[in-house]
Amino acid sequence: MVKLNTIGKVVNVIKISWLMVGITILLLGLIEGSLSLGYLVRDRFRGSNPLKADYRVLADTYADQSWVENYYDEYGRVKSQWKPYVYWRRIPYRGEYINIDPDGIRLTTGTDPSPKEASTSPKIFMFGGSTLWGWGARDASTIPSLLAKELRSKGVVSEITNFGEAGYVSTQEVITLLLQLQKGNIPDLVVFYDGINDTFSAFQHHAAGLPQNELNRVKEFNLSQAEKFQERTRIVFQDLTRNLSTVRFLQRLFGRSVVLGETGSVATASRLNLAPHRGSLAQEVLDTYIGNIELVRALGEYYGFKYLFYWQPTLFQKVHLTNYEREQRDAVHFEQFFQKTYEVVRRSRLADKREYNFRDLSLVFADVREPIYVDWSHPGERGNELIVKRMVEDVLPTITSDKGGAKQKRAPSSDSGTPPRRR
């Protein structure tokens, strides 16, 4: 009888335990479902429309809506592939609004000099992230295309290459330039258009100078090195739980920064085995950027090309916001860090334009009342026009000041020795 009572007690304990487990799972499922529904409703009210290809189709900067939805549907079909040294580049694509060549370079219109013009046409390389690449704009309305059009209207036929790529930080762009110089493809002028990705990456990683979403590469490498099944399972489990709405809510509740970049997930300095920054993170962003400027200056002196650097605007510097733009600003939680970093840049030694050929365009839309942005970082085509109007004031005198002298660039050696000295 005692034995039966003991067995009965054990069975009851097991039943109660399973009941508690079941209730816990049910509660967690209800919480996860409720939070997921809450996030869905929140995104809907912020302008995201799941029935559309992309919520940016609702941006009020698009005066002509006839092409916008088809554009974003086309953009959704543009994919990227792995690229040595720079991590990723777009795959070739041919469409009505977006065209990308076999090298992953987006089409720049109005930059096809005739054979007679080619000998005197300035060769311009442009580098930047998705804003330069032209996120939200058709081929003919990207910054490089509009610059080519503006130069042509002033009698200068140029050869412009758009090396912009979504998510690129300035270091990736410098490496891209190095790869071109290595091939003997030497420009007359290089234009860098940066600020957003360098700043966002620092916020994302809590460390400056890294490509966006560096933790993705770390995880992929560790996964390939993991020999034990348990380790692989742990990594996969971490990935799955990180995307739960419950986890997102708890991370926000306890103040951890969780942000999705243009190409992936989240990283921190400690998880990347980096030493924590000892000073201002905003200052580190600036120091890294100046280091890249110095590298380009040295390359320009050696290879004989000129350079211009632009610090780009964000929605956070625009004073007069439309309702749509205000929704985009309120949808993110890193404005304070951007404002701090941009202020550090504004007060830095980069203000000496003579030394650095640097232009701060962060306030270019400050007093503009018309709608400009499609989200917190990307201007639409009208914004690109205003940016180019400002750029051409620097580009035109830069490429015409030598009266052809810029073509006397250092050429690659015909043998395996050192490139010849410039004449």
Q: For the segment 193-250, what is each residue's pLDDT rounded down to a tens digit?
A: 999 999 999 999 999 999 999 988 887 777 666 555 565 566 555 666 666 666 666 6
Tokens coding 327: 């929704």
Beta pairing, strands 189-194 & 87-90: unpaired
Q: Which residues contact 215 (CB under 8 A, 6 or more apart)?
A: 205, 264, 265, 266, 267, 268, 271, 272
Q: Whose CA is closest to 164, among 138, 186, 135, 140?
A: 135
Share of the chain above pLDDT 90, in %: 61
Question: For residue 156, what pLDDT band results from cuts at 50, 70 and 90?
Answer: very high
Q: Which residues contact 140 (CB under 8 A, 6 or more apart)?
A: 109, 110, 146, 149
Give the residue with greater pLDDT, 186 vs 407.
Answer: 186
Question: For residue 251, what pLDDT band results from cuts at 50, 70 and 90?
Answer: low
Give the residue with greater pLDDT, 272 vs 72.
Answer: 72
Tokens coding 73: 């549907």
Range scoring the smallest mean pLDDT among 97-111, 174-188, 210-224, 333-347: 210-224
DSSP annotation string for 68-123: HHHHHHHHTT--EEEETTTEEEEPPEE-SS-EE-TTSPBP-TT----HHHHTTSPE
**H-only helix segments in 226-266:** 229-242, 245-253
CB atoms within 10 A of CB 360: 19
Domain topology for 55-202+279-403 = Rossmann fold (3.40.50)
Q: Which residues contact 36 (CB under 8 A, 6 or more apart)?
A: 245
Most confident listed range (25-29, 37-41, 53-57, 145-149):
145-149
pLDDT confidence of residue 422: 39
Q: For the segment 369-400, what is each residue's pLDDT rounded down to a tens digit?
A: 999 999 999 999 999 999 999 999 999 999 99
Q: Partners of 89 in the beta sheet?
A: 81
* Statement: the pTM of the whole predicted model exceeds 0.85: no
End-to-end alpha-carbon separation of the chain, Å? 107
The mean pLDDT of the chain is: 83
